[in-house]
Amino acid sequence: MKKILAVLCMALALGACQKQAPGSGLAFKNTDLTGLSYAQGFSLNDHTGKPVTLESYKGKAVVIFFGYTQCPDVCPTTMAEMAGVMKELGPLADQVQVLFITLDPARDTKELLAQYAPTFDPRFIGLYGTPEQTAQVAKEFKVIYNKVEGKTPDSYTIDHTAGSYVFDKNGKIRLFLRHGQGPAPIAHDLKLLLS
């Protein structure tokens, strides 16, 4: 609980530090993380089984969300929100890559991720790793997650950080997106990063 409170306090403090996008004269609507030393990358497999890193998507703005396919609320609403962002971006959407990193490698197989992520938008990609890789990537991104036992061994849920991370076309961390804000503020910020 102390860790969750610390992360919430950090997110609120960072929220007060919104900066202007370089050369735009306009402020980001989400939390500017430019220059922070964490969330530097990952080494996982995409939903086709191919090994990928953050560098695999260089040249595109990358949005990363951590979740799991059996998530009842936050994950599907976030993915639907990002599908709305892609629609709002129009032709610019081809310069954005949305990545869904599972926090549940025990249940989220590559086949399940290959069905789940592209359901929201055919360009979306699901990523997975071993439990150890998952823990390492979550630690690198300061994502908190906790397994909550269910009535049966397979009916557990996972409490987890609900925001998303945005990287610019050069693979540099730039933004933290708050959950549940709707597509417009996210599309606004992505347009600034892509301009």
In the 8-state DSSP scheme, what is residue 93? G
Residue 71 annotated as lining a ligand binding site: yes
Confirm if 183 and 93 have CB atoms less than 8 A apart. no
Confirm if 127 and 108 have CB atoms less than 8 A apart. no
Report the distance separating Cα 166 and Cα 174, nearest Å.
Answer: 6
Residue 17 annotated as lining a ligand binding site: no
| Contacts of 190 by beta carbon, 8 Å cutoff, 6+ apart | 61, 63, 85, 89, 92, 96, 166
Residue 47 annotated as lining a ligand binding site: no
> Which letter, b or e, does each residue of 85-115 get, where b requires 16 or more Cβ atoms within 10 Å of its Cβ?
bbebbeeebeebbbbbbbbbbeebebebbbe
Show binding-site residues for Cu cation: 71, 75, 160
Show binding-site residues: 71, 75, 160
